[in-house]
Amino acid sequence: MAVISYRQALHDTLRAELLREESVILIGEEIGVFEGSYKITAGLLAEFGPARVRDTPICEEGFVGAAIGAAMLGMRPVVEIMTINFSLIAIDQIVNHAAKMRAMFGGQVSVPMVIRTPGGGGQQLAASHSQNLEVWYAHVPGLKVVAPSTPADAKALLTAAIRDDDPVLVLENLALYNTKGEVPDGEQVGEIGRAAVVKPGHDLTVVSYSRATVVALEVARQLEAEGISLEVVDLRSLRPLDRDTICASVRKTSRAVMLEDDWLTYGIGAEIAATIQEGAFDYLDAPVRRVAAAEVPLPYAKPLELAALPDARTLVKVIGEVLDATRFAR
């Protein structure tokens, strides 16, 4: 088992799938000659040639549409959209075509396409380039949305996404690309729709996904020293959503806090809170709380950007409030 970066895990997975299956192709802006804005596709054009690693014009609607057509005709295209912010130009292709083909053609076709795209703020890229819009896609039946938080999950979930016969959006995160972790060798196919208890505990459940899971685990380690045992549930898949794992955890701990990088209102956490009250109502000792981004276009100025993003300190504070509200004995 090697310790590699999230970026490397994605790269290695793309290469392995290109080697394994002739129908897998890569398509997107700057992924070939420039080797990718975040260097995920470094070396792949040289190795596999322009027929399988395709640079495109700056036209998300066009190349996503082309990928949908290719997928309908038997290819397994893996589209890179430079950031999730730019997916808005292609949203009609994604929501109205990729997500609906199978149902509207009575099952005669499927769209085995992957869209890889990073979200997230904190890089001083300003309001229009720092968003977490995954909930827009997680809302849509016909799409699958996965959000790996570790290099190992990046490998397993990207592999599963490429082999899935339906369109899958793989949410990456700018802040995760350089994070490292152990990645099992050999073929690893993750299960889309399965959350993971990445840190077992018994006092309070923190639900999170993508970068927020890293923060949640850091807080769990910090609070462990204070005698507070957090259980961290990493969603991994936003659609389908693994409600059973979430509710099983809350039934055990009786307290839940959601940590999410998107905005609070109508965010992923709203769905999690609803899931918990439906599936674990009689086990709750306090209302479910959410820690999310401030409801502003993310500022460019660094101090303001930091102030607007959810962080470990806020999570610790809210966890403390929930514990106090339930007279947790420290």
Partner 1 sequence: MPDVLMPRLSDTMTEGVLSRWVKQPGDTVHRGDVLAEIETDKATMELEAYDEGVLERTLVVAGTTVPIGVPIATIGDGSNVDTSAPPATRTPTTAATEPGSTPASDAAPTHLASGSVRTSPLARAIAREHGMDIASVIGTGPGGRIVRADVEAAVASMDGVPAPVPAREPSPSSPGARGEPADPAVSARPADERIPLTAIRRVTARRLTASAAVPHFYLTSVVDAERLLAFRGEVNNRLASDGTKISVTDLLVRACAITLRAHPQANSSWADDAILRHRHIHIGVAVALEDGLIVPVVRDADRKSVGEIATELLGLAGRARAGQLTPDEFTGGTFTISNLGMFGIDHFTALINPPEAAILAVGAATHEPVVREDRVVAGTTIKLTLSVDHRVLDGATAAAFLHDLRLILEEPLHIVV
Closest C-alpha among 287, 292, 228 to residue 258? 292
Q: With respect to partner 1, which residue has the nearer C-beta, 186 or 327?
A: 327
Compare residues 314 and 326 and give the one whose CB is closer to partner 1. 326
The number of CA neighbours under 13 Å toward the Cβ of 274 is 7
From the list 67-75, 183-191, 284-292, 312-320, the region that binds partner 1 by CB under 8 A is 284-292
Binding mask 307-326 for partner 1 (x = CB under 8 A): ------------------xx
Of the pair 73, 329, the CB lying nearest partner 1 is at: 329
Active site residue 139: no
Catalytic residue among 17, 29, 35, 60: 60
- Residue pair 44/53 in contact (Cβ under 8 Å)? The answer is yes
The rounded Cα 15 to chain-centroid distance in angstroms is 21
Query: For residue 59, what are the CA distances in angstroms to 82, 89, 126?
Result: 11, 8, 22
Minimum Å gap between C-beta 283 and partner 1 is: 5
Q: Smaller CB distance to partner 1: residue 13 or 253? A: 253
Those residues whose C-beta lies under 8 Å from the C-beta of residue 195, and which sit 6 or more positions away, are 233, 234, 235, 236, 237, 241, 242, 245, 246
Candidate list 104, 281, 304, 306; residue touching partner 1; CB under 8 A: 281
**Restricting to residues 243-272, which ones interact with partner 1 according to CB under 8 A?**
254
Q: Does 329 bind partner 1 (CB under 8 A)?
A: yes
| Among positions 51, 108, 327, 330, the unique one binding partner 1 when judged by CB under 8 A | 327
Q: Which residue has the tokens 């961290």?
A: 232
Neighbours of 114 (CB within 10 A): 28
Among 126, 286, 294, 316, contact with partner 1 (rule: CB under 8 A): 286
Stretch that binds partner 1, among 1-9, 79-87, 129-137, 276-284 (CB under 8 A): 276-284
Q: Given candidates 55, 110, 283, 294, which one binds partner 1 under the rule CB under 8 A?
A: 283
Site of interaction with partner 1 (CB under 8 A): 254, 281-286, 325-329
Active-site positions read: 60, 129
